[in-house]
Amino acid sequence: MAYDFEALLQTVKDKQWSLADIDWDAPGAETMTGELRAKMRPFMADLVWIEHVGARGFASLAKKAPTPVIQEIYRYFHAEEQKHANAELALMKRWGMLDEDSSMPEPNINVKLAIKVLDDHGDSMPLTALATLIPLLECALDGALVKFLLDEVSDPVCHQVFRHINSDESRHITADFEVLELIGAGSTHKLLTESIGSLRPQVVLGLIVVFVPLINKMRDNIVAMGLPEKKLYNAVKRFSTIGGRGEFTKRIPAYHVLKAQAAMIVDRSHVYHRLLADPMVKVTRLIPARLLGKPQSWTEEITHEPVAS
C-alpha cells in the first residue's frame, strides 16, 4: 500500500511551531548548576551543529526528491532542523553557556568536515546513499543525544522545547523510511545504477573520512558523559528495526552497508573501532581548521532570538 505523503505534508504544516511560542524567561534556568553547565556546554554546541548537518542533508535531498510532495516535505524538514538548532542555541543562552556577545560556538573539526562535505558533494550524492545516511544520523545521533540531554537536565523549558523537537523528528524518521520504501520499490536497474554511483571516490571517502569519525567521536563523548551504552544501542538499533519492517527497503544496498556499520558503532569491542574509527578520529583531529575555508554563509542564519516562524 502506497504511503500518503500528502497527508504527512499536511501534518507537517499543521504542527509548525516557533521559538516565539516558548517562554524563555520561565522559571527553571537555575536548575543548571555550574558543574552541569561546564559539562553540557560542549555537548550542546555539538548538538546545535549536528542539527545543521541534518539541515544540509535535507536541503540536498529536496533537490533529488522522487516526487514534488516529498520535495516540499524535505524543504520543511530543512527549515525544522535549522529551527531546532536555533532553539538549542536559545537554551544555551538561557543557561549562560554563550560568550558575552552571544556568538555561536565553534563546531568541532568532525562537524566542520561533515558540513563541508555535504556542501561540496551532497547535491551530487546518489539519492539512495543520502536518503539512507540521513535516517542513520537521526537515529544514532539525534536519538542518543536528545535522550541523554533530557535525562541530565531538569529545566522545564528544556523539556518543553524538546517535546516540539521530538515531535518533528518522529515525522522526519517516518518520512525517511517511507521514502526508502519508495526507492526500494523501484527498478533493479535503477537501484544498481545508484549503488554503483555510491562507490564514487568522493562518496566513499566522505563516509570514511567524515561520517565514521563524526559518529564515533560523538558516541564516545556521550558515553563518557554518562549515557548508558544500552540506551545508545537502542537508539542506533532503531535504524535497523524500522528499516527491517519495510517490504522494499531491504532491496537497497546502501541500507545493508549502513545497517552493518550501525551494528559496529555500538559494539566498542569490534575491530571496526580499532582499525578504522579510532584512527580516523585521531587523523581528523590533526586537520587545521583553516584548510576547510570560511564558514558557509548559511551558518549566519543561526540565532537564539525567539522569532516567529
Asked, for residue 305, whether it belongs to a domain, the answer is no
Opening angle at CA 17, ends 169 and 172, nearest 5: 20
Asked, for residue 301, whether it belongs to a domain, the answer is no
In this predicted structure, what is the pLDDT of residue 303? 57
In this predicted structure, what is the pLDDT of residue 289? 74
Confidence of residue 3 (pLDDT cuts 50, 70, 90): confident
Q: How far apart are the first and last CA of the chain?
A: 34
By 3-state DSSP, what share of the chain in percent is helix, strand and coil, each rounded to 5?
A: 75, 0, 25
Asked, for residue 302, whether it belongs to a domain, the answer is no
Tell whether the torsion through CA atoms of 265, 268, 274 and 280 is positive or negative: positive
| Contact indicator for 34, 71 with CB cutoff of 8 Å | no
Q: Which residue has the cell 531546532?
A: 84
Domain range holding 118?
5-292
| Average pLDDT of span 43-70 | 91
Q: Which residue has the cell 549515557?
A: 227
Asked, for residue 45, whether it belongs to a domain, the answer is yes
What percent of the chain stands above pLDDT 70?
93
Instruction: Pull the grid cell for residue 1.
Output: 500500500
Asked, for residue 257, whether it belongs to a domain, the answer is yes
Check which CATH number belongs to the domain holding 150 and give it: 1.10.620.20
Question: How many domains does the chain divide into?
Answer: 1
In this predicted structure, what is the pLDDT of residue 295? 58
Asked, for residue 184, whether it belongs to a domain, the answer is yes
Asked, for residue 62, whether it belongs to a domain, the answer is yes
Asked, for residue 298, whether it belongs to a domain, the answer is no
Whole-prediction pTM value?
0.89
